[in-house]
Amino acid sequence: MTLNLKPTLKTEFIKLLNYRTFVIITLIYLALLFLVFLSIQGFLNNITINSGNQGEAPPVQLFSVYKFPDIWQNLSYLAGHLKIFPAFLIIILITNEFSFNTHKQIIISGVSRDEFILGKVVIIAIFSILVSLMVGISAFFLGIFQSEVDYSAILSPKLWFIAAHALELFTYLNLAALFAFIFRKTGITVLVFLLYSVVIERIIALNLPENISNYLPLNAIGNLIPLPNSPLMKLFGINFNEFTYTSDVISCLIYSVVFIVLMFVVLRKRDL
């Protein structure tokens, strides 16, 4: 069977642009991201100063979150903690298709089930790339204007953390989409997704060896961008990786494929 995604994607974009809730939540999410990027330096300065004032801890020099090349990892890591917001957005978009039976109208009009799912996957991919580009652009300009610039450090291996965030977001949003296809109701899907994210996977991880639990879906996604090293972390004797493991990238690619395949299976096996 030949897939023709052009009409499907055209329909998807028309729906999104006319869906005010999607546009508003997306703008709020992007504004929140940028606000966090702008305010994180002051927040960490306060922690650093307070740590230095404690008699038990040695003083720590103030450090810049915006210094190249570390800013690529720093902002990508921060953005990863806000990915729950676009996940809710994807859940709402997909479950609304079932709540208002628009999926039936689309499929009856000639779009196959496979094209319907691939349309969602492409939207998720485009959204992930655009958000990561926004993170990268924010990092570039904040690094230029908010720190002493070492221009030779701008193009560094840490720039790959922007691409890692795109993969992180893509994998995570496909997991959210899978939950939406399975449960179909917005409230139930959000509740189960939160329950899995906050409770279920953590319980499973506690009962598995660390070398196995690290490859559970959310752990693998979270491992793509490790907590950045900084003088504040070193104060507590903590050191973290400053690169992404190939095994974590492969894990997320595999999970993305698995989630997408399961979406196909769910939609094919269930009645419209």
The answer for residues whose C-beta is within 8 angstroms of residue 93's C-beta and 6 or more apart is 16, 19, 22, 120, 180
Signed CA dihedral, 153, 157, 160, 164: sign only: negative
Ramachandran bin of 156, using left for φ above 0, alpha for ψ from -120 to 50, beta for the remaining angles? beta
pLDDT tens-digit readout, 109-142: 888 899 999 999 999 999 999 999 999 999 999 9
Q: Which domain holds residue 126?
A: 7-43+66-269
How many helices (H) and strands (E) the chain has is answered by 13, 0
- Is the CB of residue 139 less than 8 Å from the CB of residue 159? no
In a domain, 78, yes or no: yes
Banded model confidence at residue 230, pLDDT cuts 50, 70, 90: low
Q: Is residue 59 part of a domain?
A: no
* Tally of domains within the chain: 1
Asked if residue 57 belongs to a domain, the reply is: no
Q: How many other β-carbons are positioned within 10 Å of the β-carbon of residue 221?
A: 23
Does residue 83 fall inside a structural domain? yes
Report pTM. 0.91
Domain assignment of residue 209, yes or no: yes
- Classify residue 61 by burial, with Cβ atoms within 10 Å: 0-12, 13-18, 19+: exposed
Tens of pLDDT along 55-109? 554 444 566 789 899 899 999 999 999 999 999 999 999 999 999 888 888 888 8
